[in-house]
Structure 1
Protein backbone atom coordinates (compact mmCIF):
# COMPACT_ATOMS: atom_id res chain seq x y z
CA UNK A 1 0.00 0.00 0.00
CA UNK A 2 1.27 3.50 -0.85
CA UNK A 3 1.76 5.13 2.57
CA UNK A 4 1.63 8.63 1.09
CA UNK A 5 -1.81 8.27 -0.47
CA UNK A 6 -3.69 5.28 0.88
CA UNK A 7 -7.18 4.61 -0.38
CA UNK A 8 -9.77 6.35 1.75
CA UNK A 9 -11.32 2.94 2.31
CA UNK A 10 -8.40 2.04 4.61
CA UNK A 11 -9.74 4.60 7.05
CA UNK A 12 -13.15 2.97 6.97
CA UNK A 13 -11.71 -0.49 7.66
CA UNK A 14 -10.30 0.73 10.97
CA UNK A 15 -13.49 2.27 12.32
CA UNK A 16 -15.41 0.50 15.06
CA UNK A 17 -18.53 -1.16 13.63
CA UNK A 18 -20.81 0.89 15.88
CA UNK A 19 -19.43 4.10 14.35
CA UNK A 20 -19.97 2.93 10.78
CA UNK A 21 -23.57 2.06 11.54
CA UNK A 22 -24.38 5.63 12.56
CA UNK A 23 -22.92 7.66 9.72
CA UNK A 24 -24.07 11.03 11.03
CA UNK A 25 -22.97 10.54 14.65
CA UNK A 26 -19.41 11.69 15.32
CA UNK A 27 -16.95 9.05 16.49
CA UNK A 28 -15.13 9.48 19.82
CA UNK A 29 -12.02 10.82 18.07
CA UNK A 30 -10.92 12.61 21.25
CA UNK A 31 -10.20 9.15 22.71
CA UNK A 32 -8.01 8.01 19.81
CA UNK A 33 -4.34 9.01 19.62
CA UNK A 34 -2.59 7.13 16.82
CA UNK A 35 0.65 8.35 15.30
CA UNK A 36 0.43 10.52 12.18
CA UNK A 37 0.03 8.25 9.15
CA UNK A 38 0.69 10.97 6.55
CA UNK A 39 -1.24 13.26 4.21
CA UNK A 40 -4.36 12.08 2.45
CA UNK A 41 -5.30 13.55 -0.93
CA UNK A 42 -8.59 14.82 0.44
CA UNK A 43 -9.82 18.35 0.99
CA UNK A 44 -12.95 20.24 1.92
CA UNK A 45 -13.78 23.29 -0.18
CA UNK A 46 -15.20 26.49 1.33
CA UNK A 47 -18.65 25.53 -0.01
CA UNK A 48 -18.56 22.33 2.09
CA UNK A 49 -17.86 19.93 -0.80
CA UNK A 50 -15.55 17.04 0.11
CA UNK A 51 -12.99 16.01 -2.52
CA UNK A 52 -10.88 12.86 -2.72
CA UNK A 53 -8.06 12.71 -5.26
CA UNK A 54 -9.54 15.77 -6.99
CA UNK A 55 -13.02 14.28 -7.41
CA UNK A 56 -16.04 15.36 -5.36
CA UNK A 57 -17.43 12.79 -2.95
CA UNK A 58 -21.01 12.55 -4.19
CA UNK A 59 -22.30 9.92 -1.78
CA UNK A 60 -23.78 11.80 1.17
CA UNK A 61 -23.40 8.84 3.55
CA UNK A 62 -19.68 8.61 2.78
CA UNK A 63 -19.08 12.33 3.38
CA UNK A 64 -21.09 12.05 6.60
CA UNK A 65 -18.96 9.14 7.72
CA UNK A 66 -15.70 11.00 7.06
CA UNK A 67 -17.08 14.09 8.82
CA UNK A 68 -17.67 11.93 11.90
CA UNK A 69 -13.95 11.11 12.21
CA UNK A 70 -12.73 14.66 11.62
CA UNK A 71 -10.65 16.44 14.25
CA UNK A 72 -9.09 19.91 14.40
CA UNK A 73 -5.92 19.91 16.48
CA UNK A 74 -3.96 22.63 18.24
CA UNK A 75 -1.60 22.94 15.26
CA UNK A 76 -4.57 24.34 13.27
CA UNK A 77 -4.68 21.31 10.95
CA UNK A 78 -7.54 18.93 10.29
CA UNK A 79 -7.17 15.16 10.54
CA UNK A 80 -9.26 12.09 9.83
CA UNK A 81 -8.73 9.85 12.84
CA UNK A 82 -9.47 6.20 13.62
CA UNK A 83 -8.15 4.13 16.53
CA UNK A 84 -5.08 3.16 14.45
CA UNK A 85 -4.70 5.84 11.73
CA UNK A 86 -4.46 9.62 11.54
CA UNK A 87 -4.37 11.35 8.15
CA UNK A 88 -3.96 15.08 7.56
CA UNK A 89 -6.38 16.65 5.07
CA UNK A 90 -6.77 20.16 3.65
CA UNK A 91 -9.70 22.40 4.58
CA UNK A 92 -10.13 25.68 2.70
CA UNK A 93 -11.94 27.49 5.54
CA UNK A 94 -13.99 25.39 7.96
CA UNK A 95 -15.27 21.87 7.27
CA UNK A 96 -19.03 22.45 7.30
CA UNK A 97 -21.56 24.79 5.69
CA UNK A 98 -24.95 25.76 7.13
CA UNK A 99 -27.49 25.66 4.31
CA UNK A 100 -30.80 25.99 6.14
CA UNK A 101 -32.27 27.81 9.14
CA UNK A 102 -35.51 27.13 10.98
CA UNK A 103 -36.81 29.58 13.56
CA UNK A 104 -39.02 28.56 16.46
CA UNK A 105 -40.55 31.23 18.70
CA UNK A 106 -39.81 34.96 18.71
CA UNK A 107 -37.46 37.46 20.31
CA UNK A 108 -35.46 36.31 23.32
CA UNK A 109 -37.43 33.07 23.49
CA UNK A 110 -36.68 31.96 19.94
CA UNK A 111 -34.52 29.04 18.93
CA UNK A 112 -32.41 29.14 15.78
CA UNK A 113 -32.06 25.63 14.38
CA UNK A 114 -29.34 25.23 11.74
CA UNK A 115 -28.78 22.40 9.25
CA UNK A 116 -25.54 21.66 7.42
CA UNK A 117 -25.17 20.32 3.89
CA UNK A 118 -24.32 16.97 5.52
CA UNK A 119 -27.61 17.04 7.50
CA UNK A 120 -26.13 17.85 10.90
CA UNK A 121 -28.68 19.71 13.03
CA UNK A 122 -27.75 22.18 15.77
CA UNK A 123 -29.59 24.84 17.80
CA UNK A 124 -27.57 27.99 18.48
CA UNK A 125 -27.00 28.57 22.16
CA UNK A 126 -24.41 28.40 24.89
CA UNK A 127 -22.76 25.24 23.50
CA UNK A 128 -23.21 26.28 19.86
CA UNK A 129 -22.40 30.00 19.61
CA UNK A 130 -22.58 32.15 16.50
CA UNK A 131 -19.61 34.37 15.69
CA UNK A 132 -18.89 36.79 12.84
CA UNK A 133 -15.44 37.49 11.45
CA UNK A 134 -14.84 40.46 9.14
CA UNK A 135 -12.39 40.09 6.25
CA UNK A 136 -9.84 42.89 6.67
CA UNK A 137 -9.32 43.22 2.92
CA UNK A 138 -12.92 43.20 1.69
CA UNK A 139 -14.94 44.14 4.77
CA UNK A 140 -17.16 41.10 4.09
CA UNK A 141 -18.58 39.24 7.08
CA UNK A 142 -18.02 35.51 7.53
CA UNK A 143 -20.52 34.10 10.03
CA UNK A 144 -19.75 30.81 11.79
CA UNK A 145 -21.53 28.42 14.13
CA UNK A 146 -19.72 26.04 16.47
CA UNK A 147 -20.97 22.50 15.71
CA UNK A 148 -18.98 20.30 18.08
CA UNK A 149 -15.69 20.37 19.93
CA UNK A 150 -13.80 23.05 17.98
CA UNK A 151 -15.33 22.30 14.57
CA UNK A 152 -17.24 25.16 12.98
CA UNK A 153 -19.66 25.62 10.09
CA UNK A 154 -19.80 28.63 7.78
CA UNK A 155 -23.28 30.06 7.35
CA UNK A 156 -24.24 30.19 3.67
CA UNK A 157 -24.93 33.73 2.48
CA UNK A 158 -28.69 33.09 2.20
CA UNK A 159 -28.81 31.84 5.79
CA UNK A 160 -26.93 34.93 6.95
CA UNK A 161 -29.49 37.10 5.16
CA UNK A 162 -32.22 35.29 7.11
CA UNK A 163 -30.37 36.05 10.33
CA UNK A 164 -30.08 39.72 9.34
CA UNK A 165 -33.87 39.86 8.94
CA UNK A 166 -34.28 38.55 12.51
CA UNK A 167 -31.71 40.96 13.97
CA UNK A 168 -32.51 43.55 16.60
CA UNK A 169 -30.57 46.06 18.68
CA UNK A 170 -29.52 45.17 22.21
CA UNK A 171 -27.13 46.51 24.85
CA UNK A 172 -24.29 44.01 24.85
CA UNK A 173 -21.05 44.44 26.80
CA UNK A 174 -21.73 48.14 27.27
CA UNK A 175 -22.50 48.88 23.62
CA UNK A 176 -25.56 48.88 21.39
CA UNK A 177 -25.13 45.96 19.03
CA UNK A 178 -27.23 44.37 16.30
CA UNK A 179 -27.70 40.65 16.67
CA UNK A 180 -29.99 37.68 17.11
CA UNK A 181 -31.34 35.67 20.03
CA UNK A 182 -31.35 31.91 20.44
CA UNK A 183 -32.10 30.03 23.65
CA UNK A 184 -31.95 33.28 25.61
CA UNK A 185 -28.45 34.20 24.42
CA UNK A 186 -27.70 37.27 22.30
CA UNK A 187 -25.25 36.85 19.42
CA UNK A 188 -23.96 40.06 17.76
CA UNK A 189 -23.79 39.80 13.97
CA UNK A 190 -22.85 43.41 13.13
CA UNK A 191 -19.10 43.15 13.43
CA UNK A 192 -16.10 41.05 14.24
CA UNK A 193 -17.13 38.90 17.21
CA UNK A 194 -13.54 37.73 17.62
CA UNK A 195 -12.54 41.25 18.70
CA UNK A 196 -15.21 41.54 21.41
Structure 2
Protein backbone atom coordinates (compact mmCIF):
# COMPACT_ATOMS: atom_id res chain seq x y z
CA UNK A 1 0.00 0.00 0.00
CA UNK A 2 3.01 2.32 0.28
CA UNK A 3 4.03 4.26 -2.84
CA UNK A 4 7.77 3.81 -3.39
CA UNK A 5 8.14 6.31 -6.20
CA UNK A 6 11.79 6.23 -7.21
CA UNK A 7 11.20 8.73 -10.00
CA UNK A 8 10.81 11.57 -7.51
CA UNK A 9 13.70 10.55 -5.25
CA UNK A 10 17.24 10.95 -6.56
CA UNK A 11 18.85 7.55 -6.23
CA UNK A 12 22.24 8.77 -7.41
CA UNK A 13 24.17 9.41 -4.21
CA UNK A 14 26.71 11.56 -6.00
CA UNK A 15 24.03 13.86 -7.35
CA UNK A 16 22.31 13.97 -3.97
CA UNK A 17 25.39 14.89 -1.96
CA UNK A 18 25.17 18.31 -0.33
CA UNK A 19 28.21 20.51 0.26
CA UNK A 20 30.47 19.34 3.10
CA UNK A 21 29.36 22.16 5.39
CA UNK A 22 25.71 21.15 4.91
CA UNK A 23 26.51 17.47 5.49
CA UNK A 24 28.03 18.29 8.86
CA UNK A 25 24.79 20.01 9.86
CA UNK A 26 22.25 17.37 8.76
CA UNK A 27 21.83 16.36 12.39
CA UNK A 28 20.39 19.85 12.88
CA UNK A 29 16.58 19.76 12.61
CA UNK A 30 16.19 22.76 10.28
CA UNK A 31 19.06 21.75 8.00
CA UNK A 32 17.76 18.20 7.66
CA UNK A 33 14.27 19.47 6.87
CA UNK A 34 15.57 21.85 4.19
CA UNK A 35 17.78 19.14 2.70
CA UNK A 36 14.91 16.65 2.44
CA UNK A 37 12.60 19.19 0.85
CA UNK A 38 15.26 20.13 -1.70
CA UNK A 39 16.00 16.54 -2.76
CA UNK A 40 12.56 14.93 -2.96
CA UNK A 41 11.15 17.35 -5.50
CA UNK A 42 7.42 17.46 -6.08
CA UNK A 43 5.39 14.69 -4.52
CA UNK A 44 2.18 13.17 -5.71
CA UNK A 45 0.62 11.81 -2.58
CA UNK A 46 3.04 10.46 0.02
CA UNK A 47 6.12 8.83 -1.47
CA UNK A 48 8.51 6.65 0.52
CA UNK A 49 12.12 6.95 -0.69
CA UNK A 50 14.02 3.79 -1.75
CA UNK A 51 15.84 3.62 1.58
CA UNK A 52 17.07 0.07 0.95
CA UNK A 53 19.14 1.39 -1.98
CA UNK A 54 20.85 4.09 0.05
CA UNK A 55 24.12 3.10 1.75
CA UNK A 56 25.52 6.16 3.52
CA UNK A 57 28.77 5.73 5.44
CA UNK A 58 28.45 8.82 7.62
CA UNK A 59 26.57 8.37 10.93
CA UNK A 60 25.52 11.13 13.32
CA UNK A 61 23.25 11.47 16.35
CA UNK A 62 20.24 13.69 16.96
CA UNK A 63 18.46 14.36 20.25
CA UNK A 64 15.15 13.08 18.91
CA UNK A 65 12.91 10.58 20.71
CA UNK A 66 9.75 8.87 19.46
CA UNK A 67 7.80 8.34 22.66
CA UNK A 68 5.84 5.21 23.54
CA UNK A 69 2.62 7.14 22.88
CA UNK A 70 3.72 8.08 19.35
CA UNK A 71 4.79 11.65 20.09
CA UNK A 72 8.02 12.98 18.58
CA UNK A 73 10.25 15.01 20.93
CA UNK A 74 13.32 17.00 19.87
CA UNK A 75 15.77 18.41 22.41
CA UNK A 76 13.24 18.04 25.22
CA UNK A 77 10.29 19.63 23.41
CA UNK A 78 7.40 18.02 21.58
CA UNK A 79 7.35 18.43 17.80
CA UNK A 80 3.92 19.84 16.98
CA UNK A 81 4.32 20.44 13.23
CA UNK A 82 2.58 17.41 11.76
CA UNK A 83 3.96 18.08 8.28
CA UNK A 84 7.53 17.97 9.59
CA UNK A 85 6.94 14.77 11.58
CA UNK A 86 5.36 13.13 8.52
CA UNK A 87 8.31 14.20 6.36
CA UNK A 88 10.84 12.71 8.76
CA UNK A 89 8.75 9.54 9.12
CA UNK A 90 9.28 8.79 5.42
CA UNK A 91 13.01 8.25 6.07
CA UNK A 92 12.69 6.15 9.24
CA UNK A 93 15.05 3.19 9.12
CA UNK A 94 15.62 0.22 11.44
CA UNK A 95 18.78 -1.86 11.82
CA UNK A 96 19.69 -4.89 13.90
CA UNK A 97 23.34 -4.50 14.89
CA UNK A 98 24.45 -7.69 16.65
CA UNK A 99 21.12 -8.03 18.44
CA UNK A 100 20.85 -4.32 19.25
CA UNK A 101 17.96 -2.59 17.48
CA UNK A 102 18.77 0.93 16.33
CA UNK A 103 16.65 3.51 14.53
CA UNK A 104 17.80 6.19 12.13
CA UNK A 105 16.62 8.96 9.87
CA UNK A 106 18.28 7.82 6.66
CA UNK A 107 19.36 10.00 3.74
CA UNK A 108 21.53 9.09 0.74
CA UNK A 109 24.55 10.63 2.46
CA UNK A 110 24.04 10.17 6.20
CA UNK A 111 22.26 8.09 8.83
CA UNK A 112 21.08 10.05 11.85
CA UNK A 113 20.58 7.92 14.94
CA UNK A 114 17.46 8.62 17.01
CA UNK A 115 15.78 6.96 20.01
CA UNK A 116 12.50 5.02 19.94
CA UNK A 117 10.83 4.05 23.22
CA UNK A 118 8.46 1.48 21.72
CA UNK A 119 7.25 1.35 18.10
CA UNK A 120 8.32 4.06 15.62
CA UNK A 121 4.82 4.32 14.11
CA UNK A 122 1.34 4.63 15.60
CA UNK A 123 -1.91 3.43 14.01
CA UNK A 124 -4.80 5.70 14.96
CA UNK A 125 -7.49 4.68 12.47
CA UNK A 126 -8.99 1.55 10.92
CA UNK A 127 -11.71 1.29 8.31
CA UNK A 128 -13.38 -1.16 5.96
CA UNK A 129 -12.66 -0.94 2.23
CA UNK A 130 -14.75 -2.91 -0.26
CA UNK A 131 -13.08 -3.91 -3.54
CA UNK A 132 -15.06 -6.23 -5.76
CA UNK A 133 -16.01 -9.22 -3.67
CA UNK A 134 -13.33 -8.56 -1.07
CA UNK A 135 -13.66 -6.65 2.17
CA UNK A 136 -10.39 -5.29 3.55
CA UNK A 137 -9.44 -3.87 6.92
CA UNK A 138 -7.32 -0.80 6.20
CA UNK A 139 -5.16 0.85 8.86
CA UNK A 140 -3.71 4.37 8.84
CA UNK A 141 -0.83 5.72 10.92
CA UNK A 142 -0.58 9.21 12.35
CA UNK A 143 2.14 9.96 9.78
CA UNK A 144 0.17 8.85 6.72
CA UNK A 145 1.11 5.21 6.12
CA UNK A 146 -1.75 3.02 4.91
CA UNK A 147 -1.62 -0.77 5.27
CA UNK A 148 -4.16 -3.56 4.97
CA UNK A 149 -4.50 -6.65 7.11
CA UNK A 150 -3.10 -9.52 5.01
CA UNK A 151 -0.63 -12.39 5.27
CA UNK A 152 2.35 -10.00 5.33
CA UNK A 153 0.75 -7.50 7.69
CA UNK A 154 -0.75 -9.41 10.60
CA UNK A 155 -1.48 -8.24 14.13
CA UNK A 156 0.52 -9.61 17.06
CA UNK A 157 0.50 -8.97 20.79
CA UNK A 158 3.86 -8.22 22.37
CA UNK A 159 5.02 -7.30 25.85
CA UNK A 160 6.19 -3.71 26.11
CA UNK A 161 9.03 -3.03 28.56
CA UNK A 162 8.82 0.56 29.82
CA UNK A 163 11.92 2.70 29.41
CA UNK A 164 13.39 5.07 31.93
CA UNK A 165 11.91 7.94 29.94
CA UNK A 166 8.34 6.74 30.37
CA UNK A 167 7.37 8.49 33.59
CA UNK A 168 3.82 7.19 33.71
CA UNK A 169 4.93 3.58 33.35
CA UNK A 170 7.59 4.08 36.03
CA UNK A 171 4.97 5.31 38.45
CA UNK A 172 2.65 2.44 37.57
CA UNK A 173 5.41 -0.13 38.00
CA UNK A 174 6.29 1.34 41.39
CA UNK A 175 2.94 0.39 42.92
CA UNK A 176 3.71 -2.08 45.67
CA UNK A 177 0.61 -4.23 45.91
CA UNK A 178 0.71 -7.56 44.12
CA UNK A 179 -2.59 -6.98 42.31
CA UNK A 180 -1.51 -3.58 41.07
CA UNK A 181 1.79 -4.97 39.85
CA UNK A 182 -0.04 -7.65 37.89
CA UNK A 183 -2.33 -5.02 36.37
CA UNK A 184 0.70 -2.94 35.35
CA UNK A 185 2.20 -5.96 33.60
CA UNK A 186 -1.07 -6.73 31.82
CA UNK A 187 -1.36 -3.15 30.61
CA UNK A 188 2.01 -3.47 28.85
CA UNK A 189 0.81 -6.15 26.41
CA UNK A 190 0.18 -4.16 23.24
CA UNK A 191 -0.97 -4.91 19.66
CA UNK A 192 1.46 -4.24 16.80
CA UNK A 193 1.41 -4.48 13.03
CA UNK A 194 4.30 -4.42 10.51
CA UNK A 195 4.12 -1.51 8.08
CA UNK A 196 7.26 -1.09 5.93
CA UNK A 197 11.02 -1.66 5.92
CA UNK A 198 10.84 -3.71 9.11
CA UNK A 199 9.06 -0.91 10.99
CA UNK A 200 6.22 -1.85 13.32
CA UNK A 201 3.29 0.31 14.31
CA UNK A 202 1.56 0.25 17.66
CA UNK A 203 -2.22 0.00 17.26
CA UNK A 204 -3.68 2.72 19.47
CA UNK A 205 -6.07 1.81 22.27
CA UNK A 206 -9.17 3.36 20.65
CA UNK A 207 -8.36 1.77 17.29
CA UNK A 208 -7.90 -1.64 18.87
CA UNK A 209 -11.18 -1.27 20.73
CA UNK A 210 -12.85 -0.46 17.40
CA UNK A 211 -11.34 -3.68 16.00
CA UNK A 212 -13.09 -5.69 18.70
CA UNK A 213 -16.36 -4.17 17.50
CA UNK A 214 -15.61 -4.92 13.84
CA UNK A 215 -14.47 -8.49 14.49
CA UNK A 216 -15.96 -11.42 16.38
CA UNK A 217 -15.00 -12.23 19.98
CA UNK A 218 -15.26 -15.80 21.24
CA UNK A 219 -14.05 -17.65 24.34
CA UNK A 220 -11.89 -20.77 23.96
CA UNK A 221 -10.06 -22.54 26.79
CA UNK A 222 -9.97 -19.46 28.98
CA UNK A 223 -8.76 -17.19 26.19
CA UNK A 224 -10.50 -14.48 24.22
CA UNK A 225 -10.18 -15.02 20.47
CA UNK A 226 -10.65 -12.03 18.18
CA UNK A 227 -11.41 -13.08 14.59
CA UNK A 228 -11.02 -10.49 11.85
CA UNK A 229 -12.00 -10.79 8.18
CA UNK A 230 -9.85 -9.11 5.54
CA UNK A 231 -9.24 -9.84 1.86
CA UNK A 232 -11.37 -12.97 1.95
CA UNK A 233 -9.32 -14.52 4.78
CA UNK A 234 -9.79 -14.92 8.52
CA UNK A 235 -7.17 -13.80 11.03
CA UNK A 236 -7.30 -14.82 14.67
CA UNK A 237 -5.72 -13.01 17.57
CA UNK A 238 -5.49 -14.95 20.82
CA UNK A 239 -5.56 -12.86 23.98
CA UNK A 240 -5.66 -13.87 27.66
CA UNK A 241 -8.77 -12.45 29.33
CA UNK A 242 -6.80 -9.91 31.38
CA UNK A 243 -5.07 -8.54 28.28
CA UNK A 244 -8.36 -8.24 26.45
CA UNK A 245 -9.72 -6.18 29.33
CA UNK A 246 -6.63 -3.97 29.44
CA UNK A 247 -7.11 -3.02 25.78
CA UNK A 248 -10.79 -2.11 26.17
Paired residue for 2:243? none
Query: Where do 1:1-196 residues align within 5 Å?
Result: 6-15=27-36, 17=38, 19=40, 21-22=42-43, 24-75=46-97, 76-104=101-129, 109-134=134-159, 138-140=185-187, 141-168=189-216, 177-191=225-239
Larger radius of gyration between Structure 1 and Structure 2 = 2
Q: Distance in 2 between matches of 1:92 and 1:64?
A: 18
Q: Distance in 1 between matches of 2:158 and 2:41?
A: 35
Paired residue for 2:245? none
Sort the Cα spacing of 1:20 and 1:120 in 2 relative to 1 into closer, same or farther, 3 A. farther
C-alpha contact (below 8 Å) 1:4/1:40 kept by paired residues:
no
Number of residues paired by the alignment? 186
Question: Per-residue CA shift, 1:70-129, capped at 9, x if unaligned?
Answer: 101123110111111111100110111111111245xx9431111111232222112322
C-alpha contact (below 8 Å) 1:98/1:116 kept by paired residues:
yes
Q: Aligned-residue CA RMSD in angstroms?
A: 3.1
Q: Displacement of 1:160 after TM fit?
A: 0.7
TM-score by length of 1: 0.80
Paired residue for 1:173? none
